[in-house]
Structure 1
Amino acid sequence: MEKIVSLYRKNKEIINYLIFGVLTTVVNIVVFALCADVFHIQYLIANVLAWIMSVIFAYVTNRKYVFESKSENIGKEITKFFSSRLSTLALDMIVMWLLVDILTASNLIAKVIANILVIVANYILSKVFVFKEGGKQ
């Protein structure tokens, strides 16, 4: 058990990012599926609604648990966070469009593939651009 705790402490940021990244992805996919499949909202609109909900969830968890930001300038930080997420929303939308409209993949499979790419891009942007000043680094 001591080795697990030691491993966690050494890799806390990346482990927490993966945990909350998975939870953010769950929020994103559940909201998307509800909007697209239950409420029959067009898939690109459903994608934007899912993005909004998951970005709010991601900001709170990334700030508190992943990067442990102590920044007092929350306005600047949240602006950077949402700006970086807008760029990955573009990636998400392009991948969704390519997979669904061009390659005729299912909405849900396309959403999962897009999310994998977005998670990697989001970590890099958060680490380098958003939380670099306000964290414990």
Structure 2
Amino acid sequence: MKKNILEEGVRYIIVGVLTTAINYIVYAGCDFLFERMGIPPFFSYKIAYLIAFVIAVFFAYFANKYLVFQKSGGNKGRELFSFFSLRIGSGILSFLLLMFFVDFLHFTHTPGWILSSGINLVLNYIGSKFFIFK
């Protein structure tokens, strides 16, 4: 049993790193593009965040379901709804944290994103492990 938990944890970390990489690449690319397009910085990083979030959530659902927790059956509708609900809730919290770090604490965009994403990663593991793919 401990071996399975350890393997699952390693898979979750790998998928989490891949999801975070996808999220960051899309975020940074959009942020860069929007800056070049002349979109004011106050808006550009927020739009970039939302686009990256949606793409990362789609990847994370399939990777967690089939690679991390290795679920092929179950109530797919319930799992999908629960997964997206968790990600939207934690994504909103992460977005608010990003705005707090950037707009109020005056972090630059990337460190603010890293901090908010780290908190988001922990919350999503707890929710996925104990509530969605149990």
TM-score normalised per structure 2:
0.87
User: Is the counterpart of residue 25 in structure 1 residue 17 in structure 2?
Assistant: no
Structure in which a larger fraction of residues adopt helix: 2
Alpha-carbon distance, 1:72 to partner = 3.8
Q: 1:8 to 1:39 in 2, by over 3 A?
A: farther
Q: What runs of 5+ residues in structure 1 fail to find an aligned partner?
A: 1-6, 133-137
Select which of 97, 109, 112 maps to 1:110. 112
Q: Distance in 1 between the 2:29 and 2:117 partners? A: 17
Identical-residue share of aligned pairs (%): 36
| Residues in 1 aligned to 2:33 and 2:82: alpha-carbon distance in whole angstroms | 33
**Distance in 1 separating the partners of 2:3 and 2:21:** 23
* Aligned with 1:92 (options 91, 94, 106): 94
Equivalences, count: 126
Distance 1:24 1:8 in 2: 24
Structure 2 alignment gaps of length 5 or more: none
Q: Report the Cα distance in structure 1 between the residues aligned to 2:100 and 2:78, rounded to whole angstroms.
A: 33
Root-mean-square deviation (CA, aligned residues, Å) is 1.6
The question of whether the paired residues in 2 share the 8 Å contact of 1:8 and 1:15 is answered with no
Q: Which whole-Å CA distance do the structure 1 matches of 2:7 and 2:110 have between them?
A: 30
Deviations 1:30-58 (A, max 9, x none): 11111111233611111111110100110
Which structure 1 residue ranges, 4+ long, deviate > 6 Å from structure 2?
A: none
